[in-house]
Structure 1
Amino acid sequence: MIEVERVGRSFTVGRRRARRTVHAVRDLSFTVEAGEFVGYLGPNGAGKSTTIKMLTGILAPTSGRVEVAGLDPTRRRTALARRIGVVFGQRTTLWWDLPLRDSFELIRHLYKVDQSVFRSRLEELTALLDLSAFMGTPVRQLSLGQRMRGDVTAALLHDPAVLVLDEPTIGLDVVSKAAMRGFLRRLNAERGTTVLLTTHDMGDIEKLCRRVMLIDHGRLAFDGTLDDLRATAPGEESIEDVVARLYTGRSTTHAGDGLDTSKD
């Protein structure tokens, strides 16, 4: 469902004589099969967001090949939008001043979803994500947990084959987080939706992902099961400690890259 082959993405930063090239992603290769639920991890500045932007067609790779759902994301971005759903935890795709249901109706028109299919799908998602109590509430008045449920619903109204999640549980309380995880688990198991999840919450990874990929300084540092990941740092009690130890051990590997690690 997702193919990334020897992909690189670099940026020129600075001005005039102070210009330099930053390699956000370099020689990155991986595949994700249909129906997989994969965690994609890395510290700030590792290249996660750059990868996501290339998978969704927002950025074109400098080198290499990307294919998602059989399409080149950059050249077939409109067609790809009908095959994928994307949720950015810190940004909403909903209309800020409109009631939630009106945002969904606008999304139906954008994706040209048949009215009967849309109604059936929305009823299903409303029940699963418990949206009914605030469907008439303007998005700006929703709590973070309510808005996140709305954003996930918006990403799924056109029944995408691939769902890309960037920090979908950020800022959620314990109850909302558990509900979101349960929904995503059922979505993957019952509908076979392929899910790629980026998060700093190791609880999300442990509860949801069977496979984990770690990116470090734009390169793939690990790809395997959670058990394989734990085996890289025997004696550590939590996945968070395992990941931290792995990155600490690799932190000087690409010390000369000059990457800005203050943001992804």
Structure 2
Amino acid sequence: MIEVVDVVKTFTVRRRAGRVRRVRTEAAAVEGVSFTVGRGEFVGLLGPNGAGKSTTIKMLTGILTPTSGTVRVCGLDPAHRRTALARRTGVVFGQRTTLWWDLPLRDSLALVRRLYRVEAAAHRARLAELTALLELGPFLDTPVRQLSLGQRMRGDLAAALLHAPELLVLDEPTIGLDVVSKATVRGFLERLNAERGTTILLTTHDLGDIERLCPRVMIIDRGRLAYDGGLERLRAEAGGDRVLVVELARPGPPVRVPGVTVDRVEGPRQWLRLPRSANAAQVVAALAGGHEVRDIALREPGIEEVVARLYRGEREYRPGAPAQRPAAAE
């Protein structure tokens, strides 16, 4: 569905060099990124602000043209076949709307149908399906400007899907939404991918979206693809130490177990930091052999902590294996 080969995107930046003189320099937003996305995949695209993920999305949708490299989406060159590609893809930007502000949602969706030249019968069937799945019924006749953020986002999703696209590209679709609205949007996207086989590329800062929806994650950092793989492998390779929370029968000094560090002690409860190489079962057995243990829990690092470690550069990756960051990106 998506093929990106050694793509580079640079921008010309003018910098002051004295009172009047300006110097032109080239700034690379994306540097040698390559990846593929197969049909029916649900892929999360992560990266800190300024990492290059929005630039990548804009090249995939034809808004920007790569400086070098090859981009193919649905078998088309996005920059040169943008109109043809638009008929096969849907795009939602969480901070921008494609709906008409002063029109009722129903009329906005009717205009979208005209733009994509969807047949009337197909439009009615598709609108009825999306109305049921996204729970649009109560506000279809409400002007878009009067919709809540969650309602507007559901309306934007419906607009992006009215022409039954093969690929759905989402940029921050749950930004600013409350818990209930997020659950509705996430559930809908999950069903769309599972039941319709729609390929979905999701960029977000909400890691709850990633954990709930995306079996595969790509992380872009400083214009390069820093990681491409599953969440579990990311946790295993970049997750850092696990934490063993132990509740003893009575308060006491920090326990002593070889290879384990006690981070905190609060009364009878102690927090033990386990390196990835440590065997949790052996640590538990050692604790039980020398102390009276009432309760014990093992906590894996959360996905937020894992991604934050990668952003901070505590571990460096290339797709599929550990790597050192190229000197040019320092």
- Tell me which interval the TM-score lies in, with the shorter structure as reference length: over 0.9
SS in 2 for 1:150: helix
Are the aligned partners of 1:22 and 1:257 in contact in 2 as well (CA < 8 Å)? no
Matches within 5 A, 1:12-27: 12-14=12-14, 17-27=22-32
- State whether structure 2 residue 203 is matched by structure 1 residue 207: no
- State whether structure 2 residue 192 is matched by structure 1 residue 184: no
Structure number with the higher helix fraction is: 1
Partner of 2:7: 7
Equivalent pairs: percent with the same residue?
71
Matches within 5 A, 1:62-211: 62-211=67-216
Partner of 1:31: 36
Are the aligned partners of 2:309 and 2:315 in contact in 1 as well (CA < 8 Å)? no
Runs of 4+ in structure 1 deviating by more than 6 angstroms, as ranges, are: none
TM-score by length of 2: 0.76
Larger RCO: 1 or 2 (CA < 8 Å, sep 6+): 1
- Distance in 2 of aligned mates of 1:69 and 1:94: 25
Are the aligned partners of 1:9 and 1:23 in contact in 2 as well (CA < 8 Å)? yes
Are the aligned partners of 1:25 and 1:51 in contact in 2 as well (CA < 8 Å)? yes
Q: Which amino acid aligns with 2:23?
A: A
- Distance in 1 of aligned mates of 2:217 and 2:228: 6
Instruction: Please identify the structure whose Cα radius of gyration is greater.
Output: 2
- Distance in 2 of aligned mates of 1:214 and 1:160: 25
- RMSD in angstroms over aligned alpha carbons? 1.6
Q: Which amino acid aligns with 1:226?
A: L
- Distance in 1 of aligned mates of 2:53 and 2:35: 13
Structure 1: gaps (5+ residues):
259-264
Partner of 2:305: 241
1:250 Cα deviation from its structure 2 partner? 5.7
Are the aligned partners of 2:112 and 2:159 in contact in 1 as well (CA < 8 Å)? yes
1:14 Cα deviation from its structure 2 partner? 1.7
Q: Which amino acid aligns with 1:218?
A: G
TM-score by length of 1: 0.94
Equivalent pairs counted in the alignment come to 258
Q: Which amino acid aligns with 1:136?
A: D
- Distance in 1 of aligned mates of 2:101 and 2:93: 15
